[in-house]
């Protein structure tokens, strides 16, 4: 019965994506079923987000395309060698939730208009918002909190705290090695690097131009 309920949930999500983008249904997987050691704390499942209210129903799982989940598992394996681990703040985001965010923020520098282009890459199951914790799931210091719409959230850290800088470098290096691009204005946002495979040609080029931040330094 549990398997049936899970299968129905996946189908419902695929239909939502199909209705919103006119694409073939997308098979999504629960990140925890691929690697149960990855920490999941969806910020839009609680009021602890920029809107001040929960946008996801209780029990929402962190869903992504299978290829994304496998790469996250690879990143987690690497991080655990250094006594760190991934924490997922957001994964697949239904277009209905994206529309609520757009209404709340209405700033396309930070929130994609769900009616334009590809909308949010979260709604295609190819983007995640992540941070680090230590092995015991304690938070580590990072440049800013989630959904911080200030220069503190930039990909290139402008502060002087060496601990924060090293944490961010570790996250960036790990995600780049696992096959993800970052986003210039959000240090926590990562998209699978071969995203053209998952988007219609009419929007893939524009989405690629927006992305492209990747690790170029040394660990």
Q: Tell me which residues are annotated as active site.
A: 186
Distance CA 105, CA 174 (A): 30
Check residue 188 and report its DSSP letter. E
- 3-state DSSP call for residue 180? strand
C-alpha 143/C-alpha 161 separation (Å) is 9
Number of residues written out for the chain: 219
Per the DSSP assignment, residues forming a β-bridge with 157 are: none
Return the sign of the alpha-carbon dihedral for residues 167, 168, 173, 176: positive
């Amino acid at each position: 019965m549990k398997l049936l309920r899970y299968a129905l949930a996946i189908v419902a999500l695929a239909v939502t994506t199909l209705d919103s983008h006119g694409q073939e249904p997308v098979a999504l997987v629960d990140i925890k079923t691929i690697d149960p050691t990855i920490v999941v704390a969806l910020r839009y499942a609680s009021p602890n987000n920029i809107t001040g209210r929960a946008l996801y129903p209780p029990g929402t799982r962190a869903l992504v395309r299978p290829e994304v989940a496998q790469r996250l598992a690879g990143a987690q394996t690497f991080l655990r060698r250094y006594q760190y681990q991934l924490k997922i703040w957001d994964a697949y985001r239904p277009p209905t939730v994206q529309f609520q965010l757009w209404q709340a923020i209405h700033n396309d520098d930070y929130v994609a208009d769900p009616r334009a282009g590809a909308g949010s890459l979260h709604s295609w199951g190819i983007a995640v918002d992540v941070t680090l914790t230590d092995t015991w799931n304690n938070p580590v210091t990072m440049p800013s909190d989630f959904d911080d719409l200030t220069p503190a959230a930039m990909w290139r850290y402008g502060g002087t705290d060496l601990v924060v800088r090293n944490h961010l470098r570790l996250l960036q290096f790990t995600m780049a090695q696992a096959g993800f691009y970052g986003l210039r204005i959000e240090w926590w946002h990562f998209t699978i690097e071969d995203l053209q495979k998952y988007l219609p040609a009419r929007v893939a080029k524009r989405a690629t131009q927006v992305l492209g931040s990747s690790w170029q330094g040394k660990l």
